Amino acid sequence: MPALEASGLTALCVYTGVGACAGLAAVAVTRAVYGLEDLFERLPLHWMWWPALGAVVVGSVGLLAPRTLGVGYDNISDILALRFTLPALLTLCGLKFVSWLVSLSSGTSGGTLAPLFTVGGRLGASLGLGAAALWPSAGVDPRTAALVGMAALFAGASRAVLACIVFAFEITHEPHSLLPLLAGCTAAYLVSCMLMRHTIMTEKVARRGVQIPESYVADPLEKVKVLDIASKSLETLNADDSLAAARKRLTEARLTQQGFPVLNAKGALVGVLTRYEVLASEADPRTRLETLIRRPPVVVYHDCHVRQAVDHLLNHGVGRLPVVSRENPARLLGIVTRSDVLAAYRHAERAAQAPVSA
């Protein structure tokens, strides 16, 4: 890569914006990969034919632009040195993205590093050229912007932010690129964390039901899913019942349950009422239970871990959480109370401290 000059404060702000745009692109790229994978799964063909269909697309794109074939390190070097005109840059990297996207989504074994570097470099170079043309006094170097876009896109997609910064710094040996890389990759990382639950590396693992650790600290509550500790045999109340009928039921049945999900005529969850709210209410006994609900139900999804349930309980100041399906939030699957969470924590803690047998 040609020698770079030190970046001023204004240029660093522009490179941060380039990194933020790369973060948005990382989210779009990740969703595109798995969205196209889902489309392949819907094809009325056996899965062994999917790579063949992908190969047709890759070969067709290769006929139009032969430089899209292969690993593409020479393309990355040319992008960082700005040896492309802007139209050629957009065309090459757009076709490279299509070729890589279809190839990877069709089940063909392939990597993500070089293709994302190519696409990210193109994005950064384009934004850098635009900023240099519109704001000449900012001191933006399109080559630095290309390097930032290259590293930031991969940092946003993989969230290996420090690895991307060090990697880009090592392969270019450009000390003046370090500050722009720090700013751009950090911005991409933050944008990705806010908009994307999993990374391009972990999304497939998460779809198989495996909990992905988000920190280096082993939290026992992150190893247990909410649905595993939820009470599934629970009494519910009908939203259309009167207050008098609900009181009679609680008194005669001698229910020990303290919180009662309230369901409408279609079986959808509309709220939660506690035993105290039903028995101590001063409302007219003919009042429908639905009118006693003061706020929408605070729920937790069935695939969340217990740590997330604890956060919900504390943040909203409630004693119980209905467990609902992510696909159908109105469908009640169970309920989790503070005592359930405490029991799960004690059980997980004992399991973690138990000696490992030979």
Residues 43 and 181 in one domain: yes
- The per-residue pLDDT for 180 is 93
- The per-residue pLDDT for 357 is 44
- The per-residue pLDDT for 356 is 44
Residues 190 and 275 in one domain: no
Residue located via tokens 């794109």? 61
Task: State yes or no: pLDDT of 17 exceeds 80.
Answer: yes
User: Quick check: is 151 in a domain?
Assistant: yes
Residues 107 and 70 in one domain: yes
Residues 299-312 pLDDT 10s:
889 888 888 888 88
Task: State yes or no: pLDDT of 44 exceeds 70.
Answer: yes
Residues 255-286 pLDDT 10s:
677 888 888 888 888 888 888 888 887 888 88
Cα of 83 vs its chain's centroid, Å: 36
Contact by Cβ (8 Å): 221, 345: yes
Contact by Cβ (8 Å): 259, 319: yes
Residues 217-227 pLDDT 10s:
567 777 788 88
User: Quick check: is 238 in a domain?
Assistant: yes
Give the neighbor-by-neighbor strand order of the sheet with 332-337: 300-301, 320-324, 332-337
Task: State yes or no: pLDDT of 186 exceeds 90.
Answer: yes
Q: Provide the whole-model pTM.
A: 0.61
Residues 193-202 pLDDT 10s:
899 888 888 7
Over range 49-55, report the average pLDDT.
87
Query: Could you give the number of structural domains in the chain?
Result: 2
Which comes out higher in pLDDT, residue 277 or 166? 166
C-alpha to C-alpha distance for 80 and 188, rounded to whole angstroms: 19
- The per-residue pLDDT for 162 is 92
C-alpha to C-alpha distance for 11 and 145, rounded to whole angstroms: 9
Q: Which domain holds residue 160?
A: 9-207
Band (pLDDT 50/70/90 cuts) for residue 358 is very low
Residues 99-120 pLDDT 10s:
888 888 887 777 788 888 888 8
Mean pLDDT in the chain? 84
Residues 82 and 165 in one domain: yes
Residues 247 and 195 in one domain: no
Task: State yes or no: pLDDT of 74 exceeds 60.
Answer: yes
Supply the CATH number for residue 133's domain: 1.10.3080.10
Q: Dihedral sign, CA of 206, 71, 101, 199?
A: positive
Over range 138-166, report the average pLDDT.
90
Over range 168-196, report the average pLDDT.
91
